[in-house]
Structure 1
Amino acid sequence: MKVNPEQLFALLCAFIPKRLPVLITGPAGVGKSDIVDQAANETGHGLLISHPVVEDPTDSKGLPFPMGNIARFLPFGDLERALSATTPLLWFLDDLGQASPAVQAAKMQLLLARRIGEHVLPDCVTFVAATNRRSDNAGVTGILDPVISRFATVVELEPTIDAWTGWAVRSNVPAELIAFLRFRPDLLYVQKKSRDIENSASPRTWGFVAKTMGVVQKDLELISYAGSVGEAAATELISFLGIYRQLPSPDAILLSPDSAPIPETPAALYAVSTALAAHSTEGNFDRVLTYNDRLIGEGHREFAALLARDAIRRKPELQNTHAFIRAQGSALGQIIRGQ
């Protein structure tokens, strides 16, 4: 069953407190680990991350240690931490599908019986696992059916532009990159079709682009971005940036919001609305909303909604301004409420 990031987060927040294990599948770089981390924080759990792909089967049982005439298996590493937990702990088995069948089989008793040999997991420990798909060129040969059946549910994470832009706005990703991916949402994730040593577009690799924007000089932008998301996606981004950089600056628009030009093409509208949202402050929000009213009047309701919502996501305190409160009874207020 495919889920978007919001659905996965809500599902984990419901299952984790009930100690129900979840298996998440999906391509590399779409945010599986990040969402698990967010869900752990939301539910008040510590996070223990294990990578079964680098384990031996015996790691899940412990090391034999002589005690008189007998030997007992003593836990160590991640197993010892989980067995010693006294507060809520989420044990995250990352990249489980890359582990050998023997290592996967060693996890079965832990996942279902919540014990290994004579050692019993405390009630405060919950399991979540993640894996790439066999089609993702990630070295996944599959997961044993008896292991799969030990998870309460199995879901496939599918990235969405709405979820990514919501994260990007809150994380202060450069406005031009947010605007570009809204204009070309099909480039958020591109399935890699070759086995060549090169990157392809994904939420993770676009995050690297965001970190390098403003760091590399213009003549190196294509090289840098292509190394992150592939040459095709990087070339389109460079073309979009050419449009973005020729538009009036947000400061110029806010100097005369009643008369500043309103773009006509979708690419330019995405650029202007995203840039204005990034520049919104309590001191200039009345001017932002003046320009936004003109967007509505010109028939660009979608872009007016993007501008207002992005501004509020970045700075929730804008909702307390007189300009925003006055706008609640206007056409903009209806747009924000989705009416």
Structure 2
Amino acid sequence: MDGTRAAFDEAVTLRQAKKLIQCMAHEQSFLLLSAPGMGKSEMVYEAAREVGLPCRSLLGTQIAPEDVSGVPRIIGERSVFCPPRILLPEQPEPFCLFLDELPACAPDVQKAFYSLLLERRLGEHALPPGTWVVAAGNRLQDRALVRAMSSALVNRVTILQLRIDTDEWLVWAQQHGVRVEIRSFIRTIPDALMRPVPADPVPFSTPRAWAQLSRALDMAERSNLLDNETRRALAFGRLSPEDAVVFCALAEESIGAIRPLEDYLRRPDLLPKSDSARWFVLDCIRQHVRDGRAAGLKPAVINRFLKSLSAEHQLILITGMVGTWGALGADKAMLALLRKVTAA
């Protein structure tokens, strides 16, 4: 358990991993590990595309040892192993070899990769100079049909543990046309971008799930099929239930894109008018304050915001967080609320 926590503490973001791959993968083999749905494969393809390398991939769960080492051919009085074309093309030009789901490979397949990962060789055949070798897979704790890797394999690669970075993903999402309501939802509830892998085989929120949901909503909208019922079916088919419920409720309220939370703190008149949408934004503000992300606001702004709310809403925000709000300078608003409540 301590080892898992330590590995996560040393994790890098997808952007950082991409830079390391582009810098070193021509000499050192990498193994990217993360929970499912983080976008490892897309990142590897993008890294290769940016430097002009074609990317060829092998899916670990769908290959046999001979798909790596090749099959023997008799030449004269000797047998020569002929590697498959995907691993050793006729033209000796560098490329990116992507070994997807390497930890899910059968032990014999993992063993077949030993010389490829360490020496960039397939038997007597060397990969073209400058070729990248990058592998990826899920972790044992993610319940993703992962096998234990041998120490010999682990010692032949640089293992990069990956972590999600919300700001980094939001930049990527905007560049790739992810719908604005999804981006604003993730900006408001960062934890919804990547939920823990559930014990049961049910949908759960990941960067891949949100990106796929965005594409599905786009296609439904272009075909005039996007209504509340369709949106709910698509969202619950991709996301964790708690995220699907809130996302659909907000979309059905038609409040538009959620603003940065500090906009509502500075201008309470921007808060949604409908009860469910307002409750949602206020709950997000409560978490925002609890996490210490409103520390840069002046006390006058904090007091004005709280005083603009109903006594019920103020009590919900302040309950259990009097010290936190007090540290922001909300003494005047809390004193006024106390007088109002006790007078009643």
Scaled by the length of structure 2, the TM-score of the pair is 0.69
Give distance in 1, aligned partners of 2:190 and 2:248: 16
Q: Deviations over 1:11-46 (max 9, x none)?
A: 122113x42211110011101011111111222221
1:217 is aligned to 227
2:86 is aligned to 78
2:223 is aligned to none
Choose the corresponding residue for 1:138, options 137, 144, 156: 144
Q: Deviations over 1:256-290 (max 9, x none)?
A: xxx9x633869669xxxxxxxxxxxxxxxxxxxxx
Give distance in 2, aligned partners of 1:11 and 1:20: 10
1:228 is aligned to 238
Choose the corresponding residue for 2:72, options 59, 64, 68: 64
Q: Deviations over 1:173-201 (max 9, x none)?
A: 211111111111111111122233x2211
**SS class of match (2:15):** helix
The answer (yes or no) to whether the contact 1:30–1:202 under 8 Å persists in 2 is yes
**SS class of match (1:201):** coil
The answer (yes or no) to whether the contact 1:13–1:42 under 8 Å persists in 2 is no
The answer (yes or no) to whether the contact 1:137–1:195 under 8 Å persists in 2 is no
Mark the CA change 1:104 to 1:85 in structure 2 (over 3 Å): closer, same or farther. farther
Choose the corresponding residue for 1:177, options 182, 202, 205: 182
**SS class of match (2:238):** helix
Mark the CA change 1:145 to 1:237 in structure 2 (over 3 Å): closer, same or farther. same
Choose the corresponding residue for 1:107, options 106, 109, 113: 113
Q: Would you say 1:203 and 2:207 are equivalent positions?
A: yes
Scaled by the length of structure 1, the TM-score of the pair is 0.70
2:104 is aligned to 98
Q: Would you say 1:164 and 2:169 are equivalent positions?
A: yes
What RMSD over aligned residues (CA atoms) do the two structures have, in Å? 3.0
Give distance in 2, aligned partners of 1:249 and 1:25: 33
Q: How does 1:292-331 map to 2 (within 5 A)?
A: none
Choose the corresponding residue for 2:61, options 49, 53, 56: 53
1:337 is aligned to none
1:187 is aligned to 192
Pick the structure with greater CA Rg. 2
Give distance in 2, aligned partners of 1:218 and 1:237: 11
Give distance in 2, aligned partners of 1:61 and 1:267: 56
2:291 is aligned to none
Given residue 247 of structure 2, which amino acid in structure 1 is its aligned partner?
L
Given residue 212 of structure 2, which amino acid in structure 1 is its aligned partner?
F
Give distance in 2, aligned partners of 1:218 and 1:242: 7
Give distance in 1, aligned partners of 2:301 and 2:20: 38
* Cα shift at 1:247: 5.6
* Cα shift at 1:145: 1.3
Give distance in 1, aligned partners of 2:179 and 2:242: 20
Mark the CA change 1:172 to 1:299 in structure 2 (over 3 Å): closer, same or farther. farther
Mark the CA change 1:266 to 1:49 in structure 2 (over 3 Å): closer, same or farther. farther
Give distance in 1, aligned partners of 2:84 and 2:126: 14
Give distance in 2, aligned partners of 1:71 and 1:248: 66
Given residue 132 of structure 2, which amino acid in structure 1 is its aligned partner?
T
* Cα shift at 1:249: 12
The answer (yes or no) to whether the contact 1:85–1:124 under 8 Å persists in 2 is no
Q: Structure 1: any 5+ residue segments left out of the alignment? A: 251-258, 270-295, 301-339
Choose the corresponding residue for 1:4, options 4, 10, 13: 13
Given residue 40 of structure 1, which amino acid in structure 2 is its aligned partner?
A
**SS class of match (1:138):** coil
Give distance in 1, aligned partners of 2:44 and 2:206: 18
Given residue 32 of structure 1, which amino acid in structure 2 is its aligned partner?
K
* Cα shift at 1:299: 6.2
Given residue 48 of structure 1, which amino acid in structure 2 is its aligned partner?
R
Mark the CA change 1:171 to 1:267 in structure 2 (over 3 Å): closer, same or farther. farther
* Cα shift at 1:246: 3.5
Give distance in 1, aligned partners of 2:122 and 2:178: 45
**SS class of match (1:77):** coil
Mark the CA change 1:199 to 1:85 in structure 2 (over 3 Å): closer, same or farther. farther
Identical counterparts, % of pairs: 26
**SS class of match (2:248):** helix
Mark the CA change 1:88 to 1:132 in structure 2 (over 3 Å): closer, same or farther. same
